[in-house]
Amino acid sequence: MKKIDDHKNGDVAIDQYHRYKEDVAIMKDMGLDAYRFSISWSRILPNGTVSGGINKKGIEYYNNLTNELLRNGIEPLVTLFHWDVPQALEEEYGGFLSTRIIDHFKEYAELCFKEFGDRVKHWTTLNEPYTISNHGYTIGIHAPGRCSAWYDTNCLGGDSATEPYMVTHHLLLAHAAVVKLYKEKYQAFQKGVIGITVVSHWFEPAWKTRKDIDAAFRALDFMYGWYVRLARYIILFLDPLTRGDYPHSMQSIVGDRLPKFTKQESKLLSGSFDYIGINYYSARYASDVSTNYFVPPNYLKDLRVNVTSEYKCKLPVIHQVIRIIGFNIHSCLYMLWQLNLMESPLVNGPKSLTNLQMGLQAASDWLYIYPKGLYDLILYTKKKYNDPVIYITENGMDEFNNPELPLEKVLDDSNRIDYYYRHLCYLQAAIKKGAKVKGYFAWSLLDNFEWNKGYTVRFGINYVEYDNGLKRHPKRSTHWFKNFLKKSSSSTKKIRVCGDDNAKATNLCIKFES
């Protein structure tokens, strides 16, 4: 718990294990038609393998939750792996550092298909493999807390130059093995679909130069295309799933540290999804640092990109003139725009000469609000990845957990309403451009335990009183969504998600996750 901000744990968290009926009632009252949840590998296989024993209580819980959802007209979308490797497998062979985990993950997935597949029709193999490899093995802030000693002496061993790539390689092969199993053995009679969920920021070039434009695409290569193949530029996680190999930019930079796929593995990976889940929260500026980057080899250095939430407003040649005559930020940006070095200066509301921020910051230090990035990422995926079926599997913002505030104050989350309003506006615009977006899941239905942030931030649309029996309270955003869903439930009614009087309901399912 040393790496968790408030030194607490998720043993009980919000206790949906015992309160699932109450939570499903909340969903039904809001008008939700789907709910995304994950199965804990170690809850049903405490020792990680079938031979190590099946926990019948765990199976019973997920059956109860699934049945309760279906009884209330709510469809389950189930994730098989959301970062919780059974401790027994971590201790035995290092979890995803070993190829041995591929067969064990396949065995676990098959148990889930057998137990729940008659009712679960939407499966996700992995949630955010990028976060697993980067946070767990590059910077060490998530389990198992590994990184190079030069990066953080508190890490429990590791090599930030090689382990992230090794882990990603095994994650991809485990995903492909499970998809093959499902398609060959279960899909025909269970009649479900299976996909993967990836996460990415959107990246804007800090300057409208060729190098920074390339840097923005390269950042997408390393965060998003590690798993999906694009045409000219490739996003790290999507690349192997569509082409069967890693992005060319990654291969040329990482070299021998990047594992190789056999021909058989490449064939297995290519096209190994029925849909792509996208988790989108934020965006960044990207600038090129392909030279003079004296840092030991590691995944983050390999990008050769400076990724930031803000950038300095400078002029390459005439910045001294600007200083002398005292132009303000608007003049500075206008001149950059006129010189064709950046886009329109009015996009993000510039504030000062030296600090142009990507967007307003939420509670988490990584979450800067940039709604247009969702639109850009969806259309980028549509164009470069052969127009796949897409689910927005996470989208949301957090606020600080301040126990000193009165209840009526914390329930008034108008900033969250604005966040969803603007993101749904851009989502609707992407759908009008032809993107095959089939559903949208907000993060999150309820306040919850947020990994290394613990309970210090709140993403929930419903408030949970951690110090008062975990009582649930609807926030203002709960009522906003409930009203929105009522308006959009009939195709004969018009909605004004984007302030358009003529906007017809898209019949897009608005769904929630915890």
Domain residues of the chain, as ranges? 16-309+359-513, 310-357
By the 8 A CB rule, do 413 and 420 touch?
Answer: no
Could you confirm whether 128 is annotated as catalytic?
yes
d(CA 62, CA 67): 8
- Tokens in use for 59? 């199976």
Tell which phi-psi region holds residue 370, choosing left (phi > 0), alpha (psi between -120 and 50) or beta. beta
Which residues have C-beta within 8 Å of that of residue 438, sequence separation ≥ 6?
275, 389, 390, 391, 509
pTM: 0.87
Q: Which fold has domain 16-309+359-513?
A: TIM Barrel (3.20.20)
Does the annotation count 394 as an active-site position?
yes
Which tokens go with 190? 């269970």
Predicted confidence at residue 291, as pLDDT, reads 67
- Give the up-direction half-sphere exposure of residue 253: CA atoms within 13 A in the CB hemisphere: 24
Residue 223's pLDDT is 84
Per-residue CA distances from 63 to 19, 58, 70 (Å): 14, 9, 11
- C-alpha count within 13 angstroms, C-beta hemisphere, residue 70: 13
Backbone angles phi, psi at 62, to 5 degrees: -70, -30
Of the two residues 222 and 317, the one the predictor is more confident about is 222
Rounded average pLDDT over 490-496: 39
Average pLDDT of span 295-321: 69
Count CA atoms within 13 Å of residue 492 on its CB side.
0
Most confident of the following: 186-195, 244-253, 283-292 = 186-195
State the pairing for strand pair 310-311/356-357.
Answer: antiparallel
Of 115, 394, 450, 513, the active-site residue reads 394
More confident residue, 361 or 512: 361
Predicted confidence (pLDDT) at residue 121 exceeds the cutoff of 50: yes
Cβ atoms of residues 134 and 209 within 8 Å? no
Catalytic residue selected from 128, 265, 399, 513: 128
Q: By C-alpha distance, which of 487, 498, 484, 481 is closest to 426? A: 498
Residues in CB range of 30: below 8 A, 6 or more apart: 478, 481, 482, 485, 512
Cβ atoms of residues 52 and 88 within 8 Å? yes
Cα gap 119→78, rounded to integer Å: 11
The pLDDT tens digits of the residues spanning 239-264 come to 677 667 787 778 888 999 999 999 99
